[in-house]
Structure 1
Amino acid sequence: MPLETFAALLMLTFAGTWTPGPNNAMLAASGVNFGLARTIPHVNGVWLGFAGMVFVVAIFLGEAFQQSALLRETLRWGGAALLLWVAWQIATKGGLPSAAGEAKPFTFWQAAAFQWINAKAWVMAVAISAQFVHPEAPWLTASLVALAFALAGVTSSLGWAAAGQGLRRFLADPVRLRVFNAVMGLSIALGVALMVMDGPVGQP
């Protein structure tokens, strides 16, 4: 892959990963409610999980995803349902419930697994892989695409979680914190509504 092509790929991945979406809203909420240190497993699960997903999609699943209406619809509605549940948990409790009923941050594996039902992640993975993965060198170009997403993802994940951490003092007031969590939950729910109205993932 020429250097200028990789630079264009980096620009796209940085723009895509930094823009608001379910991952970034949840990372910001986790930074506010649990602090940056406790959110690091969530951060690592997002950028590593997404980079790994992109690689697998680029090599194996991109064409199947485009061709299978059942796969797209399963992702669309299953992802929407899970996102709405996450939005409710953040809006009402600030995080996911633990076995004891208290809120807790995402674990590494929860965050990594979440990428596979995140519609925004699928759209980015399929669209960018289709543009940059070369059929004559699929493994190399897929690896470069995954690397670009990893570089962009680690900065955006840390950035959004750190932004949440920075708001902790302002949101130390319980009323402000409840309002913030409600806004974060609502933003995720609105994103779900837009995703559903836009139609099947990966289709025009």
Structure 2
Amino acid sequence: MLLDNYSIGLLLFAGSMVATPGPANMILLNAGSQFGFKKAIPFVFGIILSKQLIIWPIGFGILTFFELFPNFVNFIKFLSCTYIIWLAWKLSNFKINDNKELEKPPSFFHGLPVHPTNPKAWAMVSVGFSNYTNPNESLLISTLILATIFIIIQFIFHNLWCFFGVQLKKIFQNTKYEIWLMRFLSLLMLGSLVLLFLK
């Protein structure tokens, strides 16, 4: 049965993790405020699919590779920190505007690196496999269930974060608080990274 106790637990876990602020959601919030919901849709779907680039390799044993080569994990962490800090800096200098010709909206392919370079995403998927998959199920079925639940949860909450960005634009555009909003969102992005490494 698909929704056994493990799957229900995974559903609740994934919902609580995906819905909360993190680098991916902060990026989506900004994309919505900058380009509007419709133009950001390809980027949203790129981010949703990008978690699958973590789920399937973890499901089929890439964590064993990481255990054998711990320095590679540190290299991934360095890349992810650099990427998220760069995104936060970009966000802090963004200005909400109506001129859509100034910048092109991010594409589907721009969304693909977001989760593979996000330590929170790796930790989230690893916990999902270790705590919320049925040990009596085959590896393929367990991975398929986890992948399906995450993609459904992401579809709901990543779109909501992007839509929330559109609403922020309506409230803060062309006000004196606009720059402070962008800086606050940047700090949230950096804060999510700091908290992750304190765990």
TM-score exceeds 0.5 = yes
Distance 1:152 1:120 in 2: 16
- Cross-structure match for 2:123: 123
Q: Is this contact kept in 2: 1:94–1:103, CA < 8 A?
A: no
Q: 1:25 and 2:30 equivalent?
A: no
How many equivalent pairs are there? Answer: 193
In structure 2, what residue type is equivalent to 1:117? T
Q: Distance in 1 between matches of 2:104 and 2:178?
A: 15
Q: Is the 8 A contact 1:29 1:94 kept in 2?
A: no
Q: Which residue pairs with 1:163 in the alignment?
A: 164
Deviations 1:105-142 (A, max 9, x none): 43211211221110110101111112216475101110
SS in 2 for 1:175: coil
Structure 2 CA distance for aligned equivalents of residues 79 and 120 of structure 1: 10
1:165/1:2 Cα in 2 relative to 1: closer, same or farther (>3 Å)? closer
C-alpha separation between the residues in 1 aligned to 2:68 and 2:103?
39
Instruction: Letter of the 1:126 partner, please give it.
Output: S
> How far 1:189 sits from its partner (Å)?
1.8
Deviation at 1:169, TM superposition (A): 1.4
List alignment gaps of at least 5 residues for structure 2.
Answer: none
Relative to 1, partners in 2 of residues 1:10 and 1:66: Cα closer, same or farther, differing over 3 Å?
farther
What amino acid is aligned across from residue 73 of structure 1 in structure 2?
N
Q: Give the conservation status (yes or no) of the 8 Å contact 2:6–2:134.
A: no
Residue 202 of structure 1 is matched in structure 2 by none
Contact persistence 2:33–2:165 (CA under 8 A):
yes
Superposed CA offset, 1:45-99 (max 9, x none): 111211342122212313323443112211111100111001000111259xxxx
Secondary structure at 1:154's aligned position in 2? helix
Which residue of the partner structure matches residue 149 of structure 2? 148
Where do 1:53-132 residues align within 5 Å?
Answer: 53-93=54-94, 102-131=102-131, 132=133
Alignment of 1:189 with 2:190, yes or no, is yes
Residues 1:59 and 1:43: Cα distance change in structure 2 (over 3 Å) = same
Q: Residue 176 of structure 1 aligns with which residue?
A: 177
Aligned to 2:43: 42
For residues 29 and 156 of structure 1, the distance between their equivalents in structure 2, rounded to whole angstroms, comes to 15
1:176 Cα deviation from its structure 2 partner: 2.5
Given the two structures, how large is their TM-score scaled by the length of structure 1?
0.85
CA displacement at 1:42 relative to structure 2? 1.7
Structure with more of its chain in helix, by fraction: 1
TM-score, with normalisation over the residues of structure 2? 0.87
What are the ranges of 5 or more consecutive residues in structure 1 without an aligned counterpart?
A: 199-204
> How much has 1:35 moved relative to structure 2?
0.9
Q: CA deviation at 1:171?
A: 1.4
Pair 1:47–1:185, CA change in 2 (3 A)? same
8 A contact 1:65–1:72 mirrored in 2: yes
Q: Which portions of structure 1, spanning 4 or more consecutive aligned residues, are displaced by more than 3 angstroms?
A: 102-105, 133-136, 195-198
What percentage of residue pairs aligned between the two structures are identical? Answer: 19
Which one has more relative contact order, counting CA pairs under 8 Å at least 6 apart? 2
C-alpha contact 1:36 1:162 (8 A) present in aligned 2: yes
Residue 194 of structure 1 and its aligned partner are, at CA, apart by 2.9
